[in-house]
Structure 1
Amino acid sequence: MALVPKFFAGILLANAVPHGVSAVQGREFPTPFATPPGVGLSSPLANAVWSAVNAAGGAALLGRKTPGPRDRATVAAGALAMTFFLAYYFGKDQVKA
């Protein structure tokens, strides 16, 4: 079961990216703290905090051990799963031209 935390590390690390990018660009972006949660927009500062929390959680789940090929593949699988979920979640509300 040591691979399960690695999968969730990939999820958290992938989720840190869009929040961090939005924060650096000074743009509002949905967070769990918005109203309604995950749909409403949060300030760039809230996104910076949420990005940092996700990155710290992902790093903590990775641990200090040097990762082997299975560990790296599991982190990548978690990151890809979150990437596709976010693409679907945020893409479904886009206007189709």
Structure 2
Amino acid sequence: MSAMNLVRSAAGAALLVNAVPHGVAAVQGTPFPSPFSDPPGVGLSSPAVNVAWSGANLVAGRLLLDRTEGTAGERVVAALAAAGTALVLASYFGRVLRPRRRR
């Protein structure tokens, strides 16, 4: 278990978690913030953009996780990174989208 594999595990898990909100919003046909919106991460992108962004996150996350050894330590790091990413994304997207939902 190398330090690089721990980083790959954390980054891969974070990318997989990030794919979820973008993919769900896209499947629902709902505009959702992405790095390609104006302003980036705050404005809303089309569902098609979010399908592409979700897919890119899925592919990159899977590629990173495939390059690890899958040791217990790497799995723990991946789980912690996934949980941390989910909390950060929930807070961020909640804050960004809250004003829009009240209108």
TM-score between both structures, scaled by the size of structure 1: 0.89
Cα RMSD (Å)? 1.5
Cα distance in 2 for residues equivalent to 1:3 and 1:37: 29
Q: CA deviation at 1:68?
A: 2.5
Match of 1:54 among 52, 57, 60: 57
How many residue pairs get matched? 95
- Over 6 Å off, 4+ runs: none
**Gaps spanning 5+ residues in structure 1: where?**
none
Q: Percent identity?
A: 46
**Pairing of 1:1-97 with structure 2 (within 5 A):** 1=3, 2-63=5-66, 67-93=70-96, 94=98
Q: Which stretch has the larger CA shift, 12-21 or 73-82?
A: 73-82
Q: CA deviation at 1:92?
A: 2.6
- What secondary structure does 2:41 align onto? coil
Q: CA deviation at 1:64?
A: 5.5
Deviation string 1:49-77 (CA, Å, 9 cap, x unpaired) is 00000000000000166623212111111
Q: Which amino acid aligns with 1:31?
A: S
Q: Is the 8 A contact 2:12 2:62 kept in 1?
A: yes
Higher helix share: 2
